Amino acid sequence: MSSIEDVRRYWNSRPCNIRHSPKPVGSREYFDEVEARKYFVEPHIPGFAEFEKWRGKKVLEIGCGIGTDSINFARAGADLTVIDLSSESLELCKRRFKVYGLDANFYCGSAEELSKIVPVEKYDLVYSFGVLHHTPHPEKAFSEIKKYCGPETELRVMLYSKWCWKVLWIILTYGKGAFWKADELVRTYSEAQTGCPVTYYYSFKEARRLLNDFQVIDIRKEHIFPYVIEKYIRYEYEKVWYFRWMPAWLFRWLERNFGWHTLIRARLKG
86 binds ligand SAM (CB under 6 A): yes
Query: In this structure, what DSSP letter does residue 24 have?
Result: P
Q: How far apart are CA 62 and CA 188, in angstroms?
A: 23
224 binds ligand SAM (CB under 6 A): no
Burial 71-94 (b: 16+ CB within 10 A, else e): bbbbebebbbbbbbbbebbbbbbb
Q: How far apart are CA 79 and CA 172, in angstroms?
A: 44
Coil, strand or helix: which one is 207?
Answer: helix
81 binds ligand SAM (CB under 6 A): no
Q: How many residues bind ligand SAM (CB under 6 A)?
A: 23
Cβ-based nearer residue to ligand SAM, 62 or 74: 62
Q: How far apart are CA 160 and CA 207, in angstroms?
A: 9
The least CB distance from residue 232 to ligand SAM, in Å, is 17
- Region of 58-66, 148-156, 164-172, 210-218 interacting with ligand SAM (CB under 6 A): 58-66
**Cβ atoms of 77 and 147 closer than 8 Å:** no
Query: What's phi and psi for 224, nearest 5 deg?
Result: -125, 130
Cβ-based nearer residue to ligand SAM, 82 or 185: 82
Beta bridge partners of 150: none
The least CB distance from residue 238 to ligand SAM, in Å, is 24
Contact pick of 35, 79, 84, 124 for ligand SAM (by CB under 6 A): 84
Site for ligand SAM in 4-33 (CB under 6 A): 7, 11, 16-17
Burial 185-224 (b: 16+ CB within 10 A, else e): bbbbbbbeeeebbbbbbbebeebbebbeebeeeebbbbbb
222 binds ligand SAM (CB under 6 A): no
Site for ligand SAM in 89-148 (CB under 6 A): 89, 110-112, 129-131, 134-135
- Region of 47-55, 79-87, 146-154, 173-181 interacting with ligand SAM (CB under 6 A): 79-87
* Contacting positions for ligand SAM (CB under 6 A): 7, 11, 16-17, 62-65, 68-69, 83-86, 89, 110-112, 129-131, 134-135
